[in-house]
Structure 1
Amino acid sequence: MEDGATIGLTELQQDAFTELVNIGVSRAAASLRQMIGTQVLLSVPSVEIVSRHSAARLIGEREAAPLVVVHQDFEGAFAGRALLIFPQENGRELVRAVAGEELSPEEVAALEDEALAETGNIILNGCLATMANMLQRTLTMSLPGILRGDGPRIFGTQAGETSAADALVLFLYIDFSVSERDIRGYLAMLMDLPSLENLRLLVDEFIARALGDLDA
């Protein structure tokens, strides 16, 4: 992919990063399962590196409904903004799964932002903290915030907004299964080119350690 070539991701790096994300998401699912006391399955079939405009177009092609987003900034060995993105109705399904089946539509609406922020915090924190730990680094996360809108608003590509030319998006499709509900979502990390390059180098070190363990 042309965007991926910008930071020179090899197939091995792509596989290693996908594995890191999957482990991070699995740990996040375990934390969420502890909180709500029911089975939670999350999977990340693929990871893509695209421009912000491409990310906005991709999600626009997949989702016609309004989107709800939990976002948190992170900084450390690599920095950026993490986004957990749901179609609006999928977000409400997640709130019902987390907060209780017996809630009325009005109660779901009242609890939506708080429940999504708490759930998003668990997933984003769990995923990124696990990835950083496996890369032998640490990250600092901000408090979660909620954003609603379409792809251009979420990824900062609306007319009049000036995004850095080298701003890229690690874009991941996620399958959720919570309380036997199928809930689709997306995980995205907005990062500038220096941060992505730092992440690529850390992934190289991770690969070298893994290959060293195999040779030992």
Structure 2
Amino acid sequence: MNNFSELHLDALTEVFSIGAGRAALSLSEIVGDEVRISVPSVQIINSEDINSTTLSLNCGRFGAVSQHFSGPLNAEAVLLFTEEQALKIVSDMMGSQMSTDELAEFEHEAMCELGNIILNACLSAMADILNFTLESSLPNYTVASADEILHRLKKNTDQSYILILHIDLAIEKRHTAGNLVFLLSSASLTNLIIHIDQFLGSIHE
């Protein structure tokens, strides 16, 4: 797969873990409590191989925050949680006891803010460490079924690869598992490999 090795995945896991730490600090300031975000694993697959099992998508509905990044990497990034988890995250962010209907009113704004923080922290960490610049669009939040999510991820035929970050978000004692997905073209994946190789070469000089 474009010479993408376990060493590249290990490097990306470390890079994204740094980004997750930055995001956790930013979210801690918002919620006024300890937030922990970890990246247990990173994997890359061909886009045609994506399925519900890969992303732990069940038959429910999912909240998806999407954002486009451009530069050496032209990527569509999508942060995924179940809608139930998304509402719990909104509740934790709001720091108040609200009904489900009341939380739903703030869901779009709060999830866009959450996604913006996590996506930009992860991408900025990668850009800083691998020494390149990225521009980003505004985040967009939608709620969709598992089938709709999979169709959306597969329909971008020019983006042949999918980079998946499995993440764990903990606000106070509540743990939430989600996925951060990057849709990459062959050219973007090649550029990513080049930058990782340059970084790995620099630390071994």
TM, length-normalised to structure 1: 0.88
* CA root-mean-square deviation: 1.9
Amino acid at match of 2:105: A
Quote the Cα distance in structure 2 between the aligned partners of 1:61 and 1:104: 27
Q: For the residues of structure 1 that align with 2:117 and 2:167, how far apart are their CA atoms?
A: 15
Q: Deviations over 1:89-115 (max 9, x none)?
A: 010110001012312212101110110
How far residue 152 of structure 1 moved from its aligned partner, in angstroms, is 4.2
SS of residue matched to 1:122: helix
- What is the number of equivalent residue pairs in this alignment? 205
Q: How far 1:165 moved relative to its partner? A: 6.2
Q: Which residue of 2 aligns with 1:203?
A: 196
1:168 to 161, 167, 170: 161
Distance in 2, matches of 1:13 and 1:171, equals: 14
| Residues 25, 42 of structure 1: 8 Å contact kept | yes
Which residue identity lines up with residue 136 of structure 2 in the other structure?
M
Amino acid at match of 1:195: S
Q: Residue in 2 aligned with 1:102? A: 97
CA contact (8 A) 2:57 2:146 kept: no
Q: Is the counterpart of residue 138 in structure 1 residue 120 in structure 2? A: no
Residue 57 of structure 1 aligns to a residue whose secondary structure is: coil
Structure 1: tracts of 5 or more residues without a match: 1-5
- 1:125 to partner: Cα distance: 0.8
- Indicate yes or no: 2:182 matched with 1:189: yes
**Deviates most, 50-59 or 30-39:** 50-59
- Equivalent residue number for residue 23 of structure 1: 18
- Give 3-state SS (helix, strand or coil) of 1:77's partner: coil
List alignment gaps of at least 5 residues for structure 2.
Answer: none
Normalised by the length of structure 2, the TM-score is 0.92
> 1:86 and 1:59, CA in 2 relative to 1: closer, same or farther beyond 3 A?
farther
CA separation in 1, counterparts of 2:51 and 2:107? Answer: 24
Alignment partner, residue 177 of structure 1: 170
Rounded Cα–Cα distance in structure 1 between residues aligned with 2:127 and 2:55: 30
